[in-house]
Amino acid sequence: MMKRLATSICSALLLSMPAVAETVTIATVNNGDMVTMKSLSKAFTDANPDIQLEWVTLEENILRQRVTTDIATGSGQYDVVTIGTYEVPIWAKQGWLEPLNNLGTSYDVDDILPSIRGGLSHDDQLYAVPFYAESSMVMYRTDLMEKAGLSMPEKPTWDFVQKAAKAMTDKDDGIYGICLRGKAGWGENIALLSAMANSFGARWFDKNWQPQFNTPEWHKTLEVYTDLMQNYGPPGASSNGFNENLALFQTGKCGMWIDATVAGSFVTNKEESVVADNVGFALAPDAGLGKRANWLWAWTLAIPASSDSKSAAEKFVSWATSKGYLDLVAEEKGIANVPPGTRASLYANQDYLSAAPFAQMTLDSINLADPNNPAVKPVPYVGVQFVAIPEFQGLGTAVGQQFSAAVAGNVSPAQALKSAQRLAERTMRKAGYPK
């Protein structure tokens, strides 16, 4: 009798105890939109009390290193990873990512912009969903442009950018004509320089996978880049990436900034940007050769195949990239601050177009980028600001270090390009290209 009573009491206690929440560990980049995602995630956990979120928020280069190591070794440290359009098709092919088949009936996959959705699929199967997508554009101070007696064209050239950077620079007043990425990394300075190189007629490889850094087109690209950075850029430009340049622009230190379209909402946010009322937008520059320095990128959420919490992770991934999440950001942060570039419905929303002066330029810039034909001359690879091969992650960063050293004045542009050529030749030979 006592034994039966004890068993009943234990059963009752077990039934009354709350279930242990399943933990989903999310690795993400420390960009503004992801910080917002974390701050609003209580809405998800309130709706899903059986799921607990653990956040690992890292600087871009460090995030890539840790996530790549984790996923390649199958250690299962993360359940959701923030990765880009470069990694998704490569990692999906390797079997490192979980296919996304249970996003929910209201998710509306077909609303994702076709160019973005296509880049996140392998064999017609979706392996990641976009949190935000971007191209690149010129952001500039309208007041400083006017003061310099210039007018920014909607479709500027690099010649105009050089002229404007010189005219707007006032180092005595702490104002620099242009801010560009100088921090080494395949997703930092190389993103800018690869897109910039496309506009000057350069390319990473010819049709036979021979590196092309020893060409006049690359010499011209790096010559213009180092001239802008050394003469009209801020001190320490070789260490500045997206976040550093954003802070400089928001505090009124940059006349122009050529970078991701996603920055549009940050530089026009009156609570964060002292120049919010004096910001204009233009297409990324060209050199008259038919290609602009537009890149195409999406930060996406994906689930490693090694995750032990795949179902809970997919619930979070669906929530964070849904139409409902965009509505939540609009409600809490203002409609101009919703993650851009992913859904057609957002650009059909007149309220968004009216509130976001950068919206149309963002869409136009995304549509201009062509990952399948990124350069003036034919190339054997896919990708605008990257080359979609596994070897590019290491090679791109190594080349980026050479170009960053050129900005710092430690080597000449010619020396940097010579080193880049040598690095690329060695990498491709070792990897057995052409394959």
CA pair distance 233, 230, nearest whole angstrom: 6
Residue span of the structural domain in which 86 resides: 22-134+297-355
State yes or no: pLDDT of 207 exceeds 90: yes
Query: Considering the chain, what percentage of its residues have pLDDT values greater than 70?
Result: 96
The domain boundary residue, chosen from 305, 321, 355: 355
In the predicted model, what is the mean pLDDT of residues 1-18?
48
Q: Which of 355, 388, 404 is the last residue of a domain?
A: 355
Band of residue 372 on the pLDDT scale cut at 50, 70, 90 = confident
Whether 403 and 266 share a structural domain: yes
Same domain, 418 and 339: no
Answer yes or no: is 10 within a domain: no
- As given in the structure block, the two tokens for residue 114 are 């076709």
Domain boundary pick from 355, 378, 395: 355
User: pLDDT tens across 64-123, in order?
Assistant: 999 999 999 999 999 999 999 999 999 999 999 999 999 999 999 999 998 888 889 988
**DSSP letter string, 371-401:** TTS-SSS--SS--SSS--STTHHHHHHHHHH
Beta strands in 142-213 (DSSP E): 176-179
Tell me, yes or no, whether 11 lies in a domain: no
Let me know if residue 309 belongs to a domain.
yes
Return the structure tokens found at 312: 């809970």
CATH of the domain at 332: 3.40.190.10
* Residue 362 within a domain: no
Question: Is 16 within a domain?
Answer: no
**CA–CA distance from 352 to each of 34, 207, 336, 357 (Å)?**
20, 42, 6, 9
pLDDT at 114: 87
pLDDT-based confidence at residue 60 (cuts at 50, 70, 90) = confident
Q: How confident is the model at residue 17 (pLDDT cuts 50, 70, 90)?
A: very low
Asked if 267 and 147 sit in the same domain, the reply is yes
Does 205 share its domain with 276?
Answer: yes
Calpha distance 339→321 (Å, rounded): 9
Are both 217 and 142 inside the same structural domain?
Answer: yes
**Beta strand pairing status for 80-84 and 22-29?**
parallel
| Whether 254 and 190 share a structural domain | yes
Domain count within the chain: 2
Dist CA 187 CA 297 (whole Å): 10
Whether residue 421 lies inside any domain: the answer is yes
Q: Would you say how long the chain is, in residues? A: 435
Contact call for residues 340 and 50 (beta carbons, < 8 A): no
Long-range contacts of 310-315 (CB under 8 A, 24+ apart): 310/79, 310/98, 311/102, 312/22, 312/24, 312/48, 312/50, 312/51, 312/79, 313/24, 313/79, 313/80, 313/98, 314/98, 314/100, 314/102, 314/103, 315/48, 315/51
Q: Is residue 380 included in any domain, yes or no?
A: yes
Lowest model confidence (mean pLDDT) among 44-53, 121-130, 151-160, 415-424: 121-130
d(CA 184, CA 186) in angstroms, rounded, equals: 7
Model confidence at 226: pLDDT above 90? yes
329 and 417 inside one domain:
no
Q: Residue 330: pLDDT above 50?
A: yes
Tell whether 272 and 407 lie within a shared domain. yes
**In terms of domains, do 211 and 262 share one?**
yes
Domain presence at residue 14: no
CA distance 433 to 210: 9
130-183 pLDDT, tens per residue?
Answer: 999 999 999 999 999 999 999 999 999 999 999 999 999 999 999 999 999 999
Say whether both 145 and 287 belong to one domain: yes
The answer to whether 336 touches 262, Cβ cutoff 8 Å, is no
In a shared domain, residues 279 and 330: no
Predicted pLDDT of residue 47: 97
Same domain, 205 and 143: yes
